[in-house]
Amino acid sequence: MDQRITPAETAGTGPDLSGAVRQDWTRAEVRALFELPFPDLIYHAQRIHRAHFDPREVQLSTLLSIKTGGCPEDCAYCPQSARYDTGVKADKLMDVDAVLAEARAAKAAGASRFCMGAAWRNPKERDLDRVCTMVAGVKALGLETCATLGMLTAGQAQRLKDCGLDYYNHNLDTSPEFYGEIITTRTFDDRLDTLGHVRDAGINVCCGGIVGMGESREDRVGMILALATLPAHPESVPINMLVQVGGTPLATGRTLDAIEFVRTIAVARITMPASVVRLSAGREDMSEETQALCFLAGANSIFCGPKLLTTPNPERNRDRALMDKLGMVPMD
């Protein structure tokens, strides 16, 4: 049954709750969604979620750091930046065989997508040769492939497409207004350029952001607005809760209220109704109840495996137990 309601039903009475896929969201509309009473927000997010997805299904991805640490960028949340003393050791790019062994293990554990992350500002051509071999090898195992390697040129995006890359992750991180507080070594527009190259090459876009970095509600509005008004909605939208890591500039500070995090997920679901919304970093410290609320709010993807690049993530058996408890199943 199509559970969408028509724009006419909500016209003049508040934000568009029709569940239509549109890129012309306004700041006032996104703000109004954030301000909905929580029961209404969750109801509409769940209703719209059901119009596009099976609400029991959760897409499972595994993320492997193929090149850890030593990154020249200054992202304030990131333990892999060479500028911060976080205890993360800088490693070289992994060998292809070692990556493929990890991919086989991820597949055996139920993952359908294997993401490879490298701590680079942008990949060098020589390194990209090896990454392309990894991508082709992971694809041959029957897994969807995803990579996050920093900024790409149009030519690099095309090379990745040609070797079989399905998704490229490149987050906007936060609102354009707050962005300068978090990163100074590359601009918001640089990020949009890379996303454009990825999209033009025909690779699916994985793009989201991080909350809990000291931003305001209005910045969360701005972040969702920036994502929902991209030329096309990202196929995957990871919403991360900041993991405070010692040594980074964001190691301390007030954590974000869990209900506000759930609201952010719900607004992402309503504004990007056909995208897979990933409950991403920060799950290790999240209660089962908060995670369940996120699923109710329309999250339908998680990273599984004990580590997310360098920060802890729930063990697979804990995720399996939670999914069993909620009657949820892995998406094919």
In three-state secondary structure terms, 67 is: strand
CA distances (Å), origin 284, targets 121, 160, 194, 213: 27, 32, 30, 17
Q: Is 71 in the site for ligand SF4 (CB under 6 A)?
A: yes
Q: Is 41 in the site for ligand SF4 (CB under 6 A)?
A: no
Distance, CA of 73 to CA of 199 (rounded, Å):
24
Give whichever of 105 and 151 is closer to ligand SF4, judged by the CB atom.
151
Contact string (CB under 6 A) for ligand SF4, positions 269-308, x = contact = ----------------------------------------
Distance, CA of 255 to CA of 231 (rounded, Å):
32
Give whichever of 36 and 88 is closer to ligand SF4, judged by the CB atom.
88
Q: DSSP states of 115-183 as a string? A: EEEE--SS--HHHHHHHHHHHHHHHHTT-EEEEE-S---HHHHHHHHHTT--EEE---BS-TTTHHHH-
Active site residue 71: yes
Residues 141-180 that bind ligand SF4 (CB under 6 A): 150
Active site residue 78: yes
- 303: tokens are 């990273």
Residues 6+ apart with CB under 8 A from 66: 93, 94, 99, 116, 117, 118, 131, 134
Q: What are phi and psi of 30, to 5 degrees?
A: -65, -40
Q: Interacting stretch for ligand SF4, rule CB under 6 A, among 73-81, 205-213, 292-300, 317-325?
A: 73-81
Which residue is catalytic, options 31, 278, 283, 294?
278
In the complex, minimum distance from the CB of residue 195 to ligand SF4, in angstroms, rounded to a whole number: 15
Which residue is catalytic, options 31, 132, 146, 191?
146
Residues 6+ apart with CB under 8 A from 75: 81, 173, 182, 183
Q: Which of 29, 36, 62, 73 binds ligand SF4 (CB under 6 A)?
A: 73
Q: Is 80 in the site for ligand SF4 (CB under 6 A)?
A: yes
Q: Which of 119, 226, 243, 323 binds ligand SF4 (CB under 6 A)?
A: 119
Cβ neighbourhood burial of 332 (10 Å; 0-12, 13-18, 19+): exposed
Give whichever of 81 and 291 is closer to ligand SF4, judged by the CB atom.
81
Active site residue 27: no
Which residue is catalytic, options 31, 78, 159, 294?
78
Give whichever of 81 and 194 is closer to ligand SF4, judged by the CB atom.
81
Contact set with ligand SF4 (CB under 6 A): 71, 73, 75, 78, 80-81, 119, 150
Tell me which residues are annotated as active site: 71, 75, 78, 115, 146, 206, 278
